[in-house]
Structure 1
Amino acid sequence: MKKNITLLLIFITMSLLQAADEGSIKWTFSTGGEIYSLPAIGGDGTIYLASYDKYLYALNSDGSLKWKYHALTDNNWECFLRNTPALGSDGTVYFVDNSYGYLFAVGNDGTEKWKADFTDGRIAAPPAIGPNGEIIIVTTMREVFSVNPADGSINWKYTFSGGEDEAGAVIDASGAVFVRGGRLKKISPSGNEEWEFENGSNIYSSAIIAGDGTLYITGSSDKTLYALDGNGNELWNFTAGDKIYGSPVLGPDGTIYFYSYDGFIHAVNPDGTEKWTFDEQFQSLFGDIKATPIVGADSVVYFSGVTSDFSTRLFAINPDGSARWSVTLSDVVRFQATISRDSLLLVPQGNKLLAIKVGSAGLADSPFPKFRGDYANTGYVNVSVTAIGPRKENIPGKFSVSEVYPNPFNPRARIRLNLKRSARVRVDVYNATGRRLLRLTDGQKNTGRQELIWDASSYGSGVYFIDVMIDGVHMTRKALLVK
């Protein structure tokens, strides 16, 4: 009995000491330039970090230097590194430079495998890695490349219009690529555009993919989190109090977390209802810093920002939205962080990488517990997005869309629109697998009734979906072709 009490006291004492240790800085690593990137963590615990001093660093788990690689072009020009590295399944480190448009492949021993020049401009987004090891990069020239990991050769190239993508591509299990250029676009595994989602405002964040195949994307000035199905149809939206520039993240129960310029961390249930908000009156002092929360293995959420008293504080937030602990940091941090498997929160601060002790034993078991998803920052999720889901049609009085008629049909299907005001209308036809077959119309339509006709003479019998987008709002109608 006495022995059991002694063991219990030892356990309680160790637990209290561990809790007291949370938030303490265990080590720092300094580079010769600013650190803008999110670290990647290999399966052996090695930490990979890119710095503006033109070096890629590999660190041991205790913060000591393992090796560093000097990034140079073919002409021996030094490359400024701002972007997050990604790790291939064989440990190869892929990273891009922000000066000349190079993609580098470096082995986990620090030796160069290859480098390739892809653009006359820059590569402002981190690389992503697909299910077959292909590397997806997005350039400031609005180009998307699929790259062969063996030698850096090009598999395919896709060019888009709109704004630049600085957040990076996201890839699902089928190899479909999701990028944003002001609008969210889905690109097939062979490099063809399948659809785009437009919200009337430039989208600055990358999409994330939930375990059930739902896509989540945050707008910017429209202050809105969107849930989409695999055809780009809106399932629901949640509006915050101010702009949202950072990407959302996911907890293990499907809760979506994001930071808004209203000063709150928002937690939203998978059905679009509010779960809680965490209010520390974070200040928006630094332009459109794309701060992103991170979720630990115990569902604790971490975030750092400048609070109302103008101090920089790091918070650990319990799953119910209450504060677990907070610490004051000496300077502003760029909060796109990760958590190592040995319970260290790794976050850049100026030219330093801070390793801060936390209670979470690594990342949450969810597809996107942090920016860029997994430990390796691949942006890849072993889930295929859901083709068709429920719709939110909350726009009475502005326009209406009829069902397809006749239904079943052969060979022509009709659909009627009733517009109470002039609006941009786009109508696409998809097959049952979610592949876009054709676009019936895309342009401004006048007030009044409109009828669109699809002649399906060249298509086989089966189920089809007609997606109608009016001023950025999607509605889908099911049609059955019987020949």
Structure 2
Amino acid sequence: MSLNVFPSNGSPASVFGSIPGLQIVQDDEGSVFIPGYNVNTIGQINGERGYYLFTSGEDTLDFNIEGRRKLPSETDIELSGNRFNIVPNLYSDSVAIEEAMGGLEDRIVIAQDDEGNVWMPSDNVNTIGQMVPGKGYLLYVSGNDTTYNFPDTLYTAAAKRKFVSAPTSEPEFFAEVKSSGLPYTVLINEVSNFDDWKQIDELALFKGQGSDQLVGSAKIESHDLPLAITAWKENTDYDLPGFEPGDQIVLRGYVADSEQVLELEIGNLQSDTKPTYGEDIFSKIEINLPLLTSNGLENEKPKSFELKQNYPNPFNPTTNIGYSVPNTAHVTLEVFNVLGQKVATLVNERQNPGRFNVTWDASNVSSGVYLVRMTAGSYVNTNKMMLIK
């Protein structure tokens, strides 16, 4: 968050004391105000910085601050080079970020807000759009420390440029991931087959190889590249799930026409290693797509029967279950409670070879452990699922 005034009383307790459920206020140098323990290493709050707040209250906060205004151009914003800074919006209205920050365009590697939106000038990506009063923005500046002054007249060379911003929205198939407040950008910069790419409707990021923990997801509104997706880092202090730095990036796509989930092969455009979360300021990847037919996914024929672990897990109330069929067979997919009583039949038909995905809607059953069992000829396998309402 940020202020566009200099508070009359700059003590953190005076500025933030009325916020319900406030746990911690932190600046970009690691100084903190923790009201529950009467800790203040920030000192005085001013309008030259942005701050990270964590609350257990409402998602949107409204509070009033008394103070004096200064022209944005008269306020020195001190920025440290080669690291993230939290910068304020000093304007009283929303302003285009490429106008407000255009004087630093050549040095800005990435700007992020708390919802995972980004501005990456060198990659022609801008999903932030407007800097909003009251918000703070993470800004990574390359090179030496510098002092920046916002322009009073919002017109810069950067404002003339058209930034390519492939938009995304909330997913419908993959679960929406709750923000931990710690965003990490995965930038899809290249795809091997654009026609195949255009058939993918949703994308999901997972915590690592073999994991079904979702850490980011998006519905694709435009397939223009580059496209930015946000993954969320875990916040262990407040028990918020997410990735750990060093986890391998795993990307899956959903094709709505065929109702299938595709394991996407990705390459690292920044090094020769497999892409991992947190390896750089952001990750830049390419997608090597398999062939698609007019009916959707035509992936490589599976080598064996396989029942995958459902995801998300735990879930409420829907979860996705993937499975593989290497040869034509009668397949059943059934759900049982812990007493062995069948509560749902998801599949009961003869199927050709392929990889499949079904969704179980558990709205009509109570919380608890459930078992999903796949049977195909002599193949039988069972996985546990946890429903939490």
Higher helix share: 2
Check whether TM > 0.5.
no
TM-score of the superposed pair, with normalisation by structure 1: 0.25
TM-score by length of 2: 0.29
